[in-house]
Amino acid sequence: MVADSTDGYRRILATQPDNSVVFITVGYLRNMAELLKSGPDHHSRLTGTELVRTKIREWACMGGNFWTTSTDNVNFTRDIQSARSAIANFPKKVTLVPREVASVPSPLRAGEELDGTPEANPVRVACP
């Protein structure tokens, strides 16, 4: 069973040194939006926004079509409400990494290697 993402993020962030985390997202932004909306819990007495402000140095977010005319970037358009909420409410530096970084003709690939990861790998479970 895969743990709830908000609980996992809060558990990990609570144990990190202040201003030390570079948070990287490569998919939909619902988990980031939910983290920011979260309240204090057994991991930290800080709200999600306070925890992010304290622990995260920068967020690198894959998304956006910067070199094409396409407006359908699934990381943003398939859950617009979460994308808007996460980006608008993130209290630290956000670096938007163009989705083209992992697109043809780029040598980087996202997803293809997941077929070789263990069935219980949370990344594989999140990207069926």
- Write down the residue that tokens 């204090």 correspond to: 40
**CA neighbours closer than 13 Å in the CB half-sphere of residue 46:** 18
In the chain, the percentage of residues whose pLDDT exceeds 70 is 71
Structure tokens at 12: 């990990």
pLDDT at 114: 64
In contact, 54 and 20? CB cutoff 8 Å? no
Q: Which residues partner with 61 through β-bridges?
A: 25, 96
- Judged against a pLDDT cut of 70, whether residue 71 lies above it is answered with no
Angle CA(29)–CA(31)–CA(37) in degrees, nearest 5? 105
The DSSP secondary-structure symbol of 115 reads G
pLDDT at 72: 67
Edge-to-edge strand list for the sheet holding 56-62: 21-25, 56-62, 93-97
Within its chain, how far is the Cα of 67 from the centroid?
Answer: 22
Average pLDDT over residues 62-90: 81
pLDDT at 128: 47
